[in-house]
């Protein structure tokens, strides 16, 4: 709240004198004074509406009762909330509400935590109305959200939340007076973002979750505050369980980084952990099939095989892969296990799929491995530039921060997205943007270069940087001069004027935040684009200013943690360089053991080495290279050649199906630890249920391996590992409600602008190759769906009800061109193979592109070409050109 006035006013509430910032509402002031004023329609997140009349209070020298939720506190105000007049008013309001409210509390899921119930008890309100109660026709709202409009008190919190916070506008009040009911627009079931916000915000039982309907009563539930395991936003969720059964997920207002807001994945996706297909017993391959075994047998088998391979081929015959969904403790222990117990640097995590691009760019330019901004800076930014984020679907809660910045703080939103502004079932961030450039994902690089060219040629370069690093500025000026506006216009379809306008907006901003999403990070040349965006901030003098920064968004919940824990080949814990002697010495001192010298192989290199027979054994923790990498990489063939493949998994994935030993791992609902979210905030994960079956947390399994291999890394609980992490990386762990963002390191920037930028400037400042689009083809992009995250969420029964399978999403113009409609079967083919799927026509998909969510599309992966970044070794396989044919 730095930008708000610090002026305060003093007022009296029920005789308690309190001083609050100017502009505070009386109801908020009363809350601060410890006086609870009953209310239905008021919610701190929403604008005051004052429609329920429940919060009436008496204010001295004001003739009538006032609604405290819409009255601003003024100096010297004297408020009384418990006088007879006020009590009578509250009673009458309750009486009117109870005139229509059915007395079905015993069967209502809200019964026990219902505001109306509580106030009725408080005021012993009864209704003298003998008239019939209103009854609404029962209409099915959605498979996940249940409405019982008879219970509605018409506070319109849900409608206002859907509009003001989510920007979805899926709900509307229909009808007048007492006959007002909440409905979706149009005569169809609710089709929205399914964020669950209306369920959470409803003060009564009018809107409830159908997923756990009638399975519980609120007093039976046990709560555990933990962190959502889907995207990188790191939302705090409260998992509610009843007898080891996952019942419901909530998020408390003002709790966590998400401030109580969730998305469909967080709110309805929790059942993934309790899916019946979970691996519950260790499995060992005997005579070609996986059979159940005991933990002792499995561990002994792994230890024997590992010792045999190590003696025959040395430590470099091993490799390790870990998922970015594991906790920091597990990631740390995994890399320690690989580096010390096994003795190799061949290890990688799923951060390699894209997040490494952003982190390495930040390390190179500004010397940090984290954002220099926080979510609060996004909310307070005055210019936000989004590049390739599709933020609503990929990082919905960061998206909410952007929406808040635009809608409440009036920030200027600039977007470079492969997204068309359109009114749709889910909110579209480009609808809010002041200037939107719609660019195909393969041409994001060109659009970034256009912006840089506009900054340099529009003479917007910061005089400070021009003076300090004239060589750097002139080298970049020279580089952008090589690119003609005409070529840029052909590549991106955007004129130089638009670029100039956007550049001017960026430069004008005082607090500029650039958000780069997974579409950019995972596309070809993602590393170069990140560097170019950082160049943009440097040239406009924003990189080091407070509130400004570059923010690459993580896809998996702990991608950032994976990098910081050193679970990638080239980095040690704390994102220290493996090749740096000082860092190596520091780690060796901490671990009291020398680190392996041979540089490690990354994900693709390990697969290559496995197929070449150099790597004989692979430890895979929660990762699924066979299912995630395109067929061109031949991961399946490579992994089948291994002498020992050990998988620690929740489900029998494509990779686990090839394994020699599959060990049941506990999901994040069943273990303790920490997750680091995309902004670099480490937050505590707490177990909500006991491990399913015989499964154990991954760190326990790794610890057991090390004991069986004779080099024990023993820990009693996850906290002990965190303690060790803290000793290696000072101050790591949960540190209060919000992160303290690092500042850009001036010496790193100096290094970059004097020498660091030189070696690849020519490569980065060339336009990406332009694909000539042929008739009958579209550019297919693998995208992230709002309703899924990775493959994990496809085990969640709630999310499967919203999105049961992958659809090819297409623009109506393209669909018409191919004579396709929603629901038609379509055959996608190119020279690499073909894939049949179903079409869904969506206006937000730009013309010439088609989207395929990558959560189900195993076979579709064969259509994609894989390009490996020469610097960061990130495999990118997100776009392909395919011809489209209607299948019969």
Angstrom distances, CA of residue 60 to CA of 13, 127, 400, 870: 11, 30, 40, 73
Residue 75 interacts with other proteins (CB under 8 A)? Answer: no
Q: How far is the CB of 104 from other proteins (least distance, A)?
A: 4
Residue 466 interacts with other proteins (CB under 8 A)? Answer: no
Q: How far is the CB of 222 from other proteins (least distance, A)?
A: 15
Tell me the β-bridge partners of 469.
none
In whole angstroms, give the CA distance from residue 555 to residue 553.
7
Question: Of 10, 138, 253, 825, which lies in the binding site for other proteins, with binding defined by CB under 8 A?
Answer: 138
- Rounding to the nearest 10 degrees, give the CA dihedral for residues 649, 653, 654, 657: 70
Comparing CB distances to other proteins, the nearer of 133 and 468 is 133
Comparing CB distances to other proteins, the nearer of 212 and 879 is 212
Do residues 682 and 734 touch, judged by C-beta distance below 8 A? yes
Residue 173 interacts with other proteins (CB under 8 A)? Answer: no
Residue 121 interacts with other proteins (CB under 8 A)? Answer: no
HSE, CB side, 13 Å, CA atoms: give it for residue 336: 29
Q: How far is the CB of 813 from other proteins (least distance, A)?
A: 38
Residue 132 interacts with other proteins (CB under 8 A)? Answer: yes
Please choose, out of 80-88, 137-145, 794-802, 867-875, the segment that lies near other proteins by the rule CB under 8 A: 137-145
Q: How far is the CB of 239 from other proteins (least distance, A)?
A: 20
Q: How far is the CB of 51 from other proteins (least distance, A)?
A: 23
Q: How far is the CB of 36 from other proteins (least distance, A)?
A: 25
Backbone phi and psi for residue 644, each to the nearest 5 degrees, phi listed first = -150, 120
Please choose, out of 135-143, 287-295, 493-501, 639-647, the segment that lies near other proteins by the rule CB under 8 A: 135-143
Question: Of 7, 131, 486, 775, which lies in the binding site for other proteins, with binding defined by CB under 8 A?
Answer: 131
DSSP state, residue 36? P
Q: How far is the CB of 216 from other proteins (least distance, A)?
A: 8
Q: State whether residue 308 is helix, strand or coil.
A: helix
Residue 174 interacts with other proteins (CB under 8 A)? Answer: no
Strands 181-184 and 171-174: antiparallel
Residue (of 338, 290, 831) closest to 617 by Cα position: 338
In whole angstroms, give the CA distance from residue 32 to residue 502.
43
Question: Of 36, 62, 85, 103, which lies in the binding site for other proteins, with binding defined by CB under 8 A?
Answer: 103
Residue 133 interacts with other proteins (CB under 8 A)? Answer: yes
Question: Of 60, 88, 215, 690, which lies in the binding site for other proteins, with binding defined by CB under 8 A?
Answer: 215
Q: How far is the CB of 189 from other proteins (least distance, A)?
A: 13
Q: How far is the CB of 53 from other proteins (least distance, A)?
A: 23
Comparing CB distances to other proteins, the nearer of 105 and 887 is 105
Strand ranges (DSSP E) for 447-582? 512-516, 549-552, 571-572, 576-577
HEC string of 357-374? HHHHHHHHHHCCCCCCCC
Comparing CB distances to other proteins, the nearer of 118 and 471 is 118
Do residues 438 and 418 touch, judged by C-beta distance below 8 A? yes
Tell me the β-bridge partners of 332.
none
Q: How far is the CB of 411 from other proteins (least distance, A)?
A: 43
Comparing CB distances to other proteins, the nearer of 801 and 838 is 801
Q: How far is the CB of 242 from other proteins (least distance, A)?
A: 10
Per-position DSSP letters for 824-872, written without gaps between them: -EEEEEETTEEEEEEEEE-TTSPTTEEEEETTT-TGGGGG---EE-TTT
Residue 113 interacts with other proteins (CB under 8 A)? Answer: no
Do residues 824 and 216 touch, judged by C-beta distance below 8 A? no
Q: How far is the CB of 425 from other proteins (least distance, A)?
A: 24
Q: How far is the CB of 179 from other proteins (least distance, A)?
A: 8
Q: Which residue has the tokens 């273990």?
A: 671
Strand ranges (DSSP E) for 502-634? 512-516, 549-552, 571-572, 576-577, 617-621
Residue 104 interacts with other proteins (CB under 8 A)? Answer: yes
Q: How far is the CB of 206 from other proteins (least distance, A)?
A: 13
Six token digits for residue 765:
């400042």
Six token digits for residue 35:
């006086």
Residue 187 interacts with other proteins (CB under 8 A)? Answer: no
Comparing CB distances to other proteins, the nearer of 205 and 691 is 205
Residue 598 interacts with other proteins (CB under 8 A)? Answer: no
Q: How far is the CB of 176 from other proteins (least distance, A)?
A: 13
Question: Of 24, 51, 148, 653, which lies in the binding site for other proteins, with binding defined by CB under 8 A?
Answer: 148
Comparing CB distances to other proteins, the nearer of 245 and 580 is 245
Q: How far is the CB of 175 from other proteins (least distance, A)?
A: 10
Using CB under 8 A, which residues numbered 218 to 247 contact other proteins? 219-220
Comparing CB distances to other proteins, the nearer of 96 and 591 is 96
Whole-angstrom Cα Rg for the chain? 29
Please choose, out of 212-220, 258-266, 287-295, 639-647, the segment that lies near other proteins by the rule CB under 8 A: 212-220
Comparing CB distances to other proteins, the nearer of 185 and 214 is 214
Six token digits for residue 745:
């390191």
Question: Of 36, 82, 85, 107, which lies in the binding site for other proteins, with binding defined by CB under 8 A?
Answer: 107
Please choose, out of 129-137, 356-364, 587-595, 604-612, the segment that lies near other proteins by the rule CB under 8 A: 129-137
Binding residue count for other proteins, defined by CB under 8 A: 25
Comparing CB distances to other proteins, the nearer of 179 and 762 is 179
CA atoms 551, 556, 558, 561: torsion sign: negative
Comparing CB distances to other proteins, the nearer of 100 and 676 is 100
Residue 106 interacts with other proteins (CB under 8 A)? Answer: yes
| H runs (alpha helix) in 752-824 | 761-764, 797-802, 812-817
CA atoms 208, 212, 218, 222: torsion sign: negative
Comparing CB distances to other proteins, the nearer of 137 and 888 is 137
Q: How far is the CB of 133 from other proteins (least distance, A)?
A: 6
Q: How far is the CB of 47 from other proteins (least distance, A)?
A: 32
In whole angstroms, give the CA distance from residue 247 to residue 224.
12
Please choose, out of 208-216, 315-323, 588-596, 732-740, the segment that lies near other proteins by the rule CB under 8 A: 208-216
Q: State whether residue 699 is helix, strand or coil.
A: helix
Residue (of 612, 650, 613, 608) closest to 633 by Cα position: 608
Strand ranges (DSSP E) for 534-652? 549-552, 571-572, 576-577, 617-621, 644-649
Do residues 828 and 835 touch, judged by C-beta distance below 8 A? yes
Angstrom distances, CA of residue 204 to CA of 68, 114, 133, 153, 158: 21, 5, 17, 7, 11
Phi-psi region of 23 (alpha: psi -120 to 50; beta: other; left: phi over 0): left
Residue 176 interacts with other proteins (CB under 8 A)? Answer: no
Q: State whether residue 808 is helix, strand or coil.
A: strand
Comparing CB distances to other proteins, the nearer of 181 and 393 is 181
Comparing CB distances to other proteins, the nearer of 213 and 762 is 213
In whole angstroms, give the CA distance from residue 42 to residue 156.
10
Using CB under 8 A, which residues numbered 642 to 671 contact other proteins? none
Residue 150 interacts with other proteins (CB under 8 A)? Answer: yes
Angstrom distances, CA of residue 609 to CA of 523, 612, 614, 639, 646: 24, 5, 5, 10, 17
| Residues contributing to the site for other proteins (CB under 8 A) | 102-107, 111, 131-138, 140, 146, 148, 150, 213-215, 217, 219-220
């Amino acid at each position: 709240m730095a930008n708000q006035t610090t002026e305060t006013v003093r007022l009296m509430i029920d005789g308690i004198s309190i001083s609050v910032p100017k502009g505070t509402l009386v109801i908020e002031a009363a809350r601060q004074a410890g006086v609870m004023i009953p209310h239905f329609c008021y919610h701190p997140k929403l604008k005051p509406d004052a429609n329920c009349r429940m919060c009436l209070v008496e204010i001295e020298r004001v003739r009538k009762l006032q609604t405290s939720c819409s009255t601003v506190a003024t100096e010297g105000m004297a408020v009384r909330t418990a006088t007879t007049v006020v009590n009578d008013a509250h009673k009458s309001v309750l009486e009117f509400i109870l005139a229509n409210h059915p007395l079905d509390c015993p069967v209502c899921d809200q019964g026990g935590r219902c505001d109306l119930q509580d106030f009725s008890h408080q005021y012993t309100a009864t209704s003298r109305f003998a008239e019939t109660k209103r009854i609404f026709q029962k209409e099915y709202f959605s498979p996940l959200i249940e409405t019982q409009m008879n219970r509605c008190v018409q506070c319109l919190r849900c409608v206002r939340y859907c509009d003001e916070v989510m920007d979805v506008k899926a709900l509307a009040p229909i009808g007048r007076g007492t006959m007002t009911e909440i409905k979706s627009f149009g005569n169809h079931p609710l089709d929205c973002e399914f964020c669950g916000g209306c369920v959470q915000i409803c003060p009564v039982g009018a809107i409830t979750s159908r997923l756990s309907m009638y399975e519980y009563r609120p007093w039976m539930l046990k709560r555990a505050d933990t962190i959502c395991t889907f995207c990188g936003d790191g939302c705090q969720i409260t998992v509610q369980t009843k007898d080891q059964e996952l019942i419901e997920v909530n998020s408390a207002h003002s709790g966590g980084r998400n401030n109580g807001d969730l998305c469909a994945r967080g709110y309805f996706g929790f059942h993934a952990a309790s899916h019946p297909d979970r691996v519950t017993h260790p499995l060992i391959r005997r005579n070609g099939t996986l059979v159940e075994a005991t933990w002792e047998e499995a561990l002994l088998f792994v230890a024997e095989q590992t010792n045999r391979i190590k003696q025959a081929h040395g430590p470099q015959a091993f490799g390790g892969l870990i998922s970015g969904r594991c906790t920091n403790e597990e990631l740390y222990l995994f890399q320690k296990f690989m580096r010390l117990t096994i003795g190799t640097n061949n290890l990688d995590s799923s951060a390699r799929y894209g997040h490494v691009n952003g982190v390495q760019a930040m390390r190179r330019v500004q010397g940090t491995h984290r954002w220099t901004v926080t979510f609060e800076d996004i909310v307070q930014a005055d210019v936000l530039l989004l590049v390739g984020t599709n933020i609503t679907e990929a990082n919905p809660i960061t998206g909410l921060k952007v929406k808040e910045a635009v809608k409440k703080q009036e920030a200027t939103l600039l977007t470079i997205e492969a997204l068309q502004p359109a009114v749709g079932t889910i909110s579209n961030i480009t609808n809010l943007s002041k200037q939107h450039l719609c660019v195909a994902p393969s041409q994001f690089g060109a659009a970034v270069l256009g912006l840089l060219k506009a900054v340099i040629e529009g003479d917007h370069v910061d005089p400070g940087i021009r003076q300090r690093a004239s060589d750097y500025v002139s080298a970049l000026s020279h580089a952008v001069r090589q690119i003609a506006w005409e070529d840029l216009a052909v590549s991106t379809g955007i004129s130089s004027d638009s670029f100039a306008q956007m550049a001017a907006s960026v430069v004008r901003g005082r607090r500029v935040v650039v958000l780069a999403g997974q579409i950019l990070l995972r596309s070809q040349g993602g590393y170069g684009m990140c560097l170019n965006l950082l160049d943009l901030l440097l040239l406009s003098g924003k990189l080091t200013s407070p509130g400004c920064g570059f923010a690459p968004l993580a896809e998996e919940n702990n991608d950032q943690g994976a990098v910081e824990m050193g679970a990638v080949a080239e980095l040690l814990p704390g994102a220290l360089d493996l090749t740096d002697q000082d860092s190596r010495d520091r780690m060796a001192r901490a671990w009291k053991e020398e680190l392996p010298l041979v540089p490690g192989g990354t994900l693709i290199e390990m697969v290559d080495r496995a197929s070449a027979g150099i790597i004989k054994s692979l430890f895979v923790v929660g990762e699924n290279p066979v299912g995630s990498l395109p067929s061109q990489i031949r991961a399946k063939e490579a992994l089948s050649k291994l002498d020992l493949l050990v998988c620690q998994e929740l489900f029998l994935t494509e990779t686990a199906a090839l394994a020699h030993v599959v060990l049941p791992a506990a999901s994040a609902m069943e273990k303790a630890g920490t997750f680091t979210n995309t902004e670099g905030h480490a937050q505590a994960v707490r177990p909500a249920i006991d491990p399913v079956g015989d499964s154990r947390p991954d760190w326990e399994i790794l610890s057991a391996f090390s004991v069986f291999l004779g080099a024990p890394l023993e820990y009693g609980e996850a906290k002990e590992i965190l303690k060790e992490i803290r000793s290696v990386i000072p101050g790591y762990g949960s540190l209060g409600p919000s992160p303290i963002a690092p500042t850009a390191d001036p010496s790193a920037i100096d290094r970059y602008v004097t020498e660091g930028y030189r070696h690849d400037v020519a490569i980065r400042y060339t336009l990406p190759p332009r694909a000539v689009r042929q008739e009958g083809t579209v550019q297919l992009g693998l995208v992230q769906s709002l309703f899924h995250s990775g493959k994990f969420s496809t085990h969640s029964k709630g999310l499967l009800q919203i999105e049961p399978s992958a659809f090819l999403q297409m623009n109506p113009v393209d669909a018409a061109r191919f004579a396709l409609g929603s629901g038609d079967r379509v055959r996608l083919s190119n020279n690499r193979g073909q894939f049949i799927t179903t079409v869904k026509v969506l206006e937000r998909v730009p013309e010439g592109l088609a989207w395929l969510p990558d959560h189900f599309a195993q076979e579709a992966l064969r259509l994609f070409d894989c390009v490996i970044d020469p610097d960061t070794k990130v495999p990118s396989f997100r776009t392909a050109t395919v011809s489209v044919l209607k299948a019969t």
